[in-house]
Homo-oligomer: A and B are copies of this chain.
Amino acid sequence: MGDDAAVVRARALCVTSVDAIVDGVHFRLRDGWVTAREVGWKALAAGLSDIAAMGADPGEAYLVLGAPPGLSEEAALEIVRGAEQLATRAGASILGGDVVSAPALAVTVTAIGWADSEGQLVGRDGARPGDLVGVTGRLGGARAGIELLDRGLSPPHGPDGARLLARVRRPLPRLAEGRALAREGARAMIDISDGLATDAGHIARASGVRLEISLAALPLQDGLHQLARALGLTPWQLAATSGEEYELCLCAPPARRAALERALAAGGDAPAGGEDPAGGEHPAQITWIGRVLAGPPTAALLDPDGREVELRGYEHRW
């Protein structure tokens, strides 16, 4: 620290992800939909979720803050504190960064993870015909929370509503789950940042296989139904298009099914218990939502009648 660059003792493989979030594009600070602290948390969550999807161990993170005129020093510190809060929880260390003048608040995060061998890591290209498709946790909460904030709607009463907002404000990357799934036989994995409909397509194309996903099988976040109706969507449409979920989508051979379920039921390798600030399940369970077939590389989404429907990840513009 205090030098031109940070120096860290390495392990065998270095896993690096870069992400940025910009005020007015990925969040809206001024309207009070998120606090400065939550901006820092969210920025780091996106980076750590990429590390989780590789099955790597979290390591270091670096923040670059684009500070607009009028951003108070206290707000800037709160952003860093929010990132540090998540880093502490996730087992990562924020080792440095930079602050530059910019026309709008932007937080760029470099997240570095580590692995001891290639066998520890999982890419997007390992799905094979016959594999099952699974997903961690429950889907739909992130988009539901954004829609509630954007439309000024009242969240559902009680803990369901609070969890929908928490999915937007304090998403929790599935680091322990990612490691456990990689260890127990997942052979393709991605984090759901663009929406399952889009991210499953990334696995399909990278692996050269067809993914068939049954929308009726999607695990739904509690409290979605009323909002979905108000949006003119079915709950599974909402769940399949919801980005920034930071749940993991994986493909694995059926023979690994029980081992994968057991590994997650044991909480990945995370300490068990504790409240999940992100409003998700903790520990996350795994739900099997489809299968992998030979065929043109695409992710086919099947409605409850077995008809293929066109859905794309919903990109919210704040």
Within 8 A of B (CB), among A65-122: 66, 95-98, 100-104, 106, 108, 110-115, 118, 121
* A56:B12 contact, CB within 8 angstroms: no
Given A16-B110, A60-B16, A95-B16, verify A101-B7 contact (CB < 8 Å): no
* A22:B123 contact, CB within 8 angstroms: no
Which of A46-54, A228-236, A276-284 lies at the binding interface?
A: A46-54
Q: Is A206 an interface residue (CB 8 A)?
A: yes
Q: Is A275 an interface residue (CB 8 A)?
A: no
Chain B: minimal CB distance from A3 (Å): 4
Tally of this chain's copies: 2
Report B-chain residues with C-beta under 8 Å of the C-beta of A153: none
Q: Which of B24, B62, B191 contacts A4 (CB 8 A)?
A: B191
Q: Is A125 an interface residue (CB 8 A)?
A: yes
* A19:B64 contact, CB within 8 angstroms: yes
Q: Is A259 an interface residue (CB 8 A)?
A: no
Q: Which of B6, B15, B18, B121 contacts A15 (CB 8 A)?
A: B6
A-B contacts, 29 listed (Cβ < 8 Å): A2-B124, A2-B125, A3-B54, A3-B125, A3-B206, A5-B17, A5-B56, A5-B113, A7-B121, A8-B14, A8-B15, A9-B12, A10-B10, A10-B114, A16-B95, A17-B96, A19-B98, A20-B98, A20-B100, A20-B102, A21-B100, A22-B66, A22-B103, A62-B110, A100-B106, A102-B106, A103-B103, A103-B104, A104-B104
Q: In the complex, what distance in Å separates the CA atom of A62 from the CA atom of B53?
A: 19
* B25:A102 contact, CB within 8 angstroms: yes
Within 8 A of B (CB), among A188-206: 190-191, 206
Chain B: minimal CB distance from A309 (Å): 26
Q: In the complex, what distance in Å separates the CA atom of A102 from the CA atom of B115?
A: 33
Q: Is A294 an interface residue (CB 8 A)?
A: no
Chain B: minimal CB distance from A59 (Å): 9
Q: Report the interface size for chain A: residues with CB under 8 A from the other chain.
A: 60
Q: In the complex, what distance in Å separates the CA atom of A2 from the CA atom of B56?
A: 16
Q: Which of B20, B50, B51, B63 contacts A66 (CB 8 A)?
A: B20
Q: Is A26 an interface residue (CB 8 A)?
A: yes
* B50:A4 contact, CB within 8 angstroms: yes
Q: Is A11 an interface residue (CB 8 A)?
A: yes
Given A100-B21, A102-B106, verify A10-B12 contact (CB < 8 Å): yes
Q: In the complex, what distance in Å separates the CA atom of A25 from the CA atom of B96?
A: 22
Q: In the complex, what distance in Å separates the CA atom of A213 from the CA atom of B50?
A: 47
Q: In the complex, what distance in Å separates the CA atom of A26 from the CA atom of B19?
A: 21
Q: Is A13 an interface residue (CB 8 A)?
A: yes
